[in-house]
Amino acid sequence: MMKAVNQSIMKKDAMALVTGKPVYTDDIAPQGCLIVKALRSPHAHALIKKIDGSIAKKVPGIECVLTHADVPQSRFTIAGQTFPELSPYDRKILDERLRFVGDAVALVAGSDEKCVDKALKLIKVEYEVLEPLLDFRKAKDNAVVVHPEADWKELIDVGGDNKRNLIASNKINYGDVEAVLAKCDVVVSGSYHTKQYQQAMMETFRAYTYLDLHGRLVIVSSTQTPFHVRRIIATALEISKAKVRVIKPRIGGGFGAKQTAVMEMYPAIVTHLTGKPAKMVYSRYESQIASSPRHEAEVKATIGATRDGDIKVITVHSLWNAGAFGEHSPTTVTLSGHKSISLYGGFEAFRFTYEVVYTNTIAAGAYRGYGATQGIFAVESAVNELAAKLGQDPAKIRERNMVREGQLMPAYFNEHATSCTLDRCLARAKEMIGWDEKYPSRAMGNGKIRSVGLSLAMQSSGINNIDTGAVSIKVNDDGFYTMAIGATDMGTGCDTILAQIAAECLECSPDDIIVNGVDTDTSPYDCGSYASSTTYVTGMAVVKTCEALKKRILLEAAKSLHCDSADIVFDGKLLTCVKTEAQVSLKDVANGSMCGNNTTLFATESHCSPVSPPPFMAGIAEIEIDRETGQIELLQFVAVVDCGTVINPALAKVQVEGGLVQGIGMAMFEDVVLDERGKIANDSFMQYRLPTRLDTGKIRVEFASSYEPSGPFGAKSIGEIVINTPAPAIADAVYNATGVRLKELPITAEKIFRGLQALK
């Protein structure tokens, strides 16, 4: 029976947050920081012919006005990825070529917002307006080249060519696709379009910077990747990494947006050049028009099967719109195939191809699901279409074809499904919603019809052989512990989760584990919070560190017990020699170690996994549609998740619910609309429609635990997978109610109405 793991323990920072303590970046920024803001480009594609900030500099309180001529000229990437990054080095801090509406033209720093806002209006810019490239379907080999510069570079060859507007491309084959397709009884194929959705976290992008007493640049930032930010800023400013320190306070949400260093370089360059503290806080408007949303994508999925419903071949082609810059593009796109095709086992062949292109739109980045979301919408929709074409229940066709425990997953880098309860997830989800009674639809009278639709999903647990987590734990006076971590808690509760894992290993209360957050000067290296890596990867680093620490505790206790350490047992409080029954308390060992001792009760370990075991999930939507108007209402959504051993059921449940709401928003409400000039039309929450609690119906969540042998106490990840099922499930429910098959998100009453009219 576990005492700390699998318990719904309250988050360590819960009381501080709910009582409004100053814990976030802007709360703790010192008074007197220079306020930094950016002048934004009104054009999607333009060259700065002339820029004059002389009048702006005369505004009282203005410290500096910076243009592209005032900053270092090295190109870099703002993608928070392990070095060498797969993303191209295609950015400058400020550039004379502007590549989207909202691109930074100049920076102004002053004593307060009022003077900065005034100065921004006084900067004179002469633009040479160029033809913008806005349609990603026409981007490759277009006459308009978004990045014509000679110093564009890839550190790793990912199939890019900036002169062709191509960031990455690849083709992966398994088996003879054409031959298998030719012998299939049924083939379905379709293209599925998703937009550049915003993460819309409550805390916008923000950071403050200052020079310490040694002249080192300190960056306090709401970031998911502090160690990567250190490298990014050092590269951008052309200074040594030893001159940069990054500190992460509490984060008010990130969802992947803050895996990209969207704005840290702006206050950093101001401090670097002026020597003065500086702060930049993005407005919601800036977060909408100059951030790092999900990649717009068109994914074509083809599935071939026998007339009995055995899936024999799957092909996926993904076309990715990176926008103006390429951060995260070569990596997000790979998940669209590897984590959608692999939901199914027993096929004879698959093909996965992709292309990522530049356009003159907002640069995309990382968002929860990280590319699997777009791919799963396509593949799961195609499987639902296959079921309809065969006249089969879509649940039955999945039960026939889904990947199962022990099975090889050739599209998932030839890993085996070492832990998988996907069959149990689907069976339980069907029970929860009453699938057999409600599928496919029921007429409710007054032109209303109710229906259900389903989807499966999988993700990963970190990036195998790459993602690294480390922790350090020391024993303090009286026997409590301090744990230093490099993982970044962005509201998910990872500080609490890691404390629970440590408490289970050390047989103490999680309250006895004091967790210190990230400071790149003092924290052990961790890649950061992304790729669903924290619980699985850093959690195993906790286990290894605790094992090493217990050995040191036993060695220290052996001195006073006059006993071999191999003969000592430790129950978290007492250390007992099994031969003599002599005992000593951890409190006495800890206090005794602080005087005349040559052994430190301290350990630090790192972990990188050779595998990345996927979590699995089944999601089912129930909707009601008015067949006269197309009006759609989500009545309920049920989800059952296999994330291995659940470390903290309460936090896990909240993770699932939050991810489902984001997936529902993507499926039904959120849209990104560009005008003919490339300007985002819905640049505030008044126009960019997010779901409220009134829009999401009843959400119910359960877990079908497996045991993952490579994870801490059998755990896998949960953070990303939860966003992936709503879109295909809701789309299939619409089809089951109306016969309208929608392949572009969001699913709206207007689209349903038009589809119904087309069927008449």
What pLDDT is attached to residue 532?
A: 81
Q: Record the pTM.
A: 0.96
Neighbouring-strand partners of residue 547: none
H/E element, 663: helix 649-668
What does the pLDDT average to over 447-463? Answer: 96
Cα of first residue to Cα of last residue in the chain, in angstroms, is 61
DSSP codes of every residue in 310-325: -EEEEEEEEEEEEETS
* pLDDT digit string, tens, across residues 249-274: 999 999 999 999 999 999 999 999 99
What pLDDT is attached to residue 479?
A: 94
Cis omega before residue 746 (within 30°)? yes
Give the domain 463-607 fold. Answer: Aldehyde Oxidoreductase; domain 4 (3.30.365)
What does the pLDDT average to over 79-91? Answer: 96
420-456+614-760 to CATH, choices 3.30.365.10, 3.40.710.10, 3.40.50.2020, 3.20.20.70: 3.30.365.10
* pLDDT digit string, tens, across residues 642-686: 999 999 999 999 999 999 999 999 999 999 999 999 999 999 999
**CA pair distance 603, 552, nearest whole angstrom:** 8
* pLDDT digit string, tens, across residues 38-56: 999 999 999 999 999 999 9
* pLDDT digit string, tens, across residues 540-554: 999 999 999 999 999
What does the pLDDT average to over 219-239? Answer: 97
What pLDDT is attached to residue 530?
A: 84
H/E element, 27: helix 25-28
* pLDDT digit string, tens, across residues 287-342: 999 999 999 999 999 999 999 999 999 999 999 999 999 999 999 999 999 999 99
What pLDDT is attached to residue 428?
A: 98
State the span(s) of the chain assigned CATH 3.90.1170.50: 32-132+199-289
Cα separations in angstroms, 721 against 228, 371, 619, 733: 24, 11, 11, 20
Q: How many CB atoms lie within 10 A of CB 28?
A: 13
Task: Report whether pLDDT(1) > 80.
Answer: no
Neighbouring-strand partners of residue 107: 38, 66
32-132+199-289 sits in which CATH class? Answer: alpha beta
**CA pair distance 178, 188, nearest whole angstrom:** 14
DSSP codes of every residue in 92-157: -SS-SEE-STT-EEEEEEESSHHHHHHHHHH-EEEEEE------GGG-TT-SS-S---TT-B-SS-
What pLDDT is attached to residue 665?
A: 98
pLDDT band at 594 (very low <50, low <70, confident <90, very high): confident
State the span(s) of the chain assigned CATH 3.30.365.10: 133-197+293-408, 420-456+614-760, 463-607
Counting Cβ atoms within 10 Å, is residue 1 exposed (0-12), middle (13-18) or buried (19+)? exposed
pLDDT band at 490 (very low <50, low <70, confident <90, very high): confident
For 133-197+293-408, CATH gives 3.30.365.10
What does the pLDDT average to over 484-506? Answer: 92
